[in-house]
Amino acid sequence: MSNTRIYRYLDSNNQIGLDPEGYLVKQDQWSKPVAEMLADDEGLSLTEAHWEIIEVVRDFYLRYEMAPSMRPLVKAVKNALGEEKGKSIYLMALFPGSPAKRIARLAGLPKPTNCL
């Protein structure tokens, strides 16, 4: 779960707090515009392909009450969007670095438990 200590604010009105790892302090503040601000903060521009994955991860969270680490993420995407998109290479191309952590952050979810 996200650290509840505010490290910095995402917005100029100091309303949307982020923890030291860049996750939302208050998950209920997430919205598509907030996701866009988070992506912009990371130097990422969200396309329809990004939104598909974000929606899969948010659905996963609603079902299992946890953000998926990489292996469950790949499986969830494969089940929801098909074989071609359900590959780690595809996810790494869309979300460079650590896809599971980055997607969870953009989806307004806590850090996946098995991610360092």
The catalytic residues are: 115
The residues, ordered by sequence, that sit 6+ positions from 22 with a Cβ below 8 Å of its Cβ are: 38, 41, 42, 105
Distance separating alpha carbons of residues 74 and 64, to the nearest angstrom = 15
Write down the H helix ranges in 12-98: 32-41, 48-64, 70-81, 88-94
Distance separating alpha carbons of residues 77 and 58, to the nearest angstrom = 11
Quote the tokens at residue 67. Answer: 């953000």
